[in-house]
Each structure stands twice: as C-alpha cells, then as structure tokens.
Structure 1
Amino acid sequence: MYKDTLTNNLHKLVRQDPLVNEINGSIGVSLDDFDERIGDFAKQIDIDTATWSLPVYEKELGIITDISKPYVERRQQIISRLRGTSKIGAAELKLICDSYANGNVEIYLDHGIVVEFTSVFGIPSNIDD
C-alpha cells in the first residue's frame, strides 16, 4: 500500500530504477506493518475492543485474571470496577449492573436495597463478578 504511494511521489525517471523500487518496497512493508500495530494498539485502549491488554486493566484494578473467562465477561468486570470506585448509591449501582450482559435492573428500597433483574434473558451468567 505505502510502496505505491512512495513510488508515485517520485519523478517518472526514478520510478523505473530497480534499486529505488526495492527500497520503496522495503519501506512500504515497514510502514504497512506500523499501521497495523498502531491500529491494534488503538483497539487495546478501548476496553470494548481490548484483547491482549485485558490483563493490564485487571492488574491495575485488582482483578484476578482468569483467562478461562470469555473476553466479554472480563471486559464487563473491568467496566463495572471502573464505574464502582466511588461512593455508591442507587444510580451508581444501576450503572454497575448495566455494564453486564442481561444486567438490566430496577433498584428500590424495601427494608434494605433491593436489586431486581428485569431482563427477559435472566440474570448475568457471571453474577459473582
């Protein structure tokens, strides 16, 4: 991809030179690889698309890494931990629950805090998290 861009930016006479083509090819491959790596790194910054960076988030948040869990469950646990780091009330508790799949809840007081899961799919499979 970058090889063609580099070559097209050269004068017509220089484009035909085999040495210049080899150099452009080598530089182009390096730039293509660099673009892929930057793209992957950008995905790791967003928790919703992170894969190999999940252990970093888990370590920072004090979560024990369990690689047997699917990425989705690990991401949900990270998001809920990030949301639940301050003083908690009904709104904050709802935000934490909503970060899980099937985490739709209604929260009300009835001789204590009552959390009622309202999703038609039931409670989250990883409710212990």
Structure 2
Amino acid sequence: QDLNIPVNLSKPIEQRRSVIISKMRGSGKVSASMLKNVAQAYERGSIEVTVQPDAYKVTIHFRDTLGIPPNLSDLKSAIEEIKPAHMTVDYALRYLTIAEVEGMTFDEIAATTQDRLLGGGA
C-alpha cells in the first residue's frame, strides 16, 4: 500500500515479493547497476546489464536461467517504469544449445522440457 502496488492474489507469493523488492530498489538516478539491482529482485540467477548510450539501448541478459523467466512480465513493467523514456530495453534469454545437449545423457535430455532448448516452444 505504501508503494502504490496493486495486490494480485493470482500470482505466487514469491512473485508478489519480487514486485515489492524491485519497487524499493528502483528509486534514485537510473544506472546500469540500478537496473541490474531491480532485475535481480525477479531473478535468482546471474544477470548482466549493458547500456549502449549511443544506441539508446539497454540489454538485460539472463545468464543462468534457461528459457523464459516465470516473472518476466513484472520485470518488464518495473524496468519500463524506471528507465528513461528514450531508451529501449532488450531481454536476452538463455537456452540450451545443440552443443550443450550433445554433452547430456539420455536421462538428462528426457528430463529437460522443450522450453529450455534453443528454438523451443516459447
């Protein structure tokens, strides 16, 4: 209520907490480290944020998470709220490549969902 965040009971408690944490982290001058800090509130894996000021572009790269992160829409909303209006944001997702799959055992492949594979159903 203090942060003016609407309650969405249809989302899991961890995703709702991520929204609150990112809102608290997203105040002040916008920088790559601030954007990374906000993104880290939604993602437990490694995130890299690069800013290309000449191209007016920010890229948020998910290094550890395979496929689409479960709370990506909330992250996009939070970043959109704090970034300068003239900047665009690209989200670089990570998938298993053919080389990585070739090194897996049959049991590992069988346990891997298609959304984690490069070109998988997203």
TM-score (norm 1): 0.49
Q: CA deviation at 1:109?
A: 2.6
Aligned residue pairs, count: 71
Alpha-carbon offset, residue 124 of structure 1: 2.5
Distance in 1 between the 2:45 and 2:19 partners? 12
**Residues 68-87 of structure 1 correspond to what in structure 2 (within 5 A)?**
68-87=10-29
Contact 2:46 2:64 in 1 (8 A): yes
| Partners of 1:86 and 1:121 in 2: CA distance | 31
Residue aligning to 2:71: 126
Where does the alignment leave 5 or more consecutive residues of structure 2 unmatched?
A: 75-122
Runs of 5+ consecutive residues of structure 1 not aligned to the other structure: 1-58
> Which residue of structure 2 lines up, in the alignment, with residue 114 of structure 1?
59
Shift of 1:92: 0.7
Is the Cα–Cα contact under 8 Å of residues 84 and 92 in structure 1 kept in the other structure? yes
Q: Which has the larger radius of gyration?
A: 1
Deviation at 1:121, TM superposition (A): 2.9
Distance change (3 Å), C-alpha of 1:91 and 1:123: farther
Post-superposition offset of 1:102: 4.4
Identity %, equivalent residues:
35
1:117 positional shift: 1.4
For 1:96, what is the secondary structure of its paired residue?
helix
Establish whether residue 61 from structure 1 lines up as the match of residue 38 from structure 2: no
CA contact (8 A) 1:101 1:124 kept: yes
CA RMSD of aligned residues (A): 1.7
The alignment partner of 1:106 has SS state of: strand
Partner of residue 105, structure 1:
47
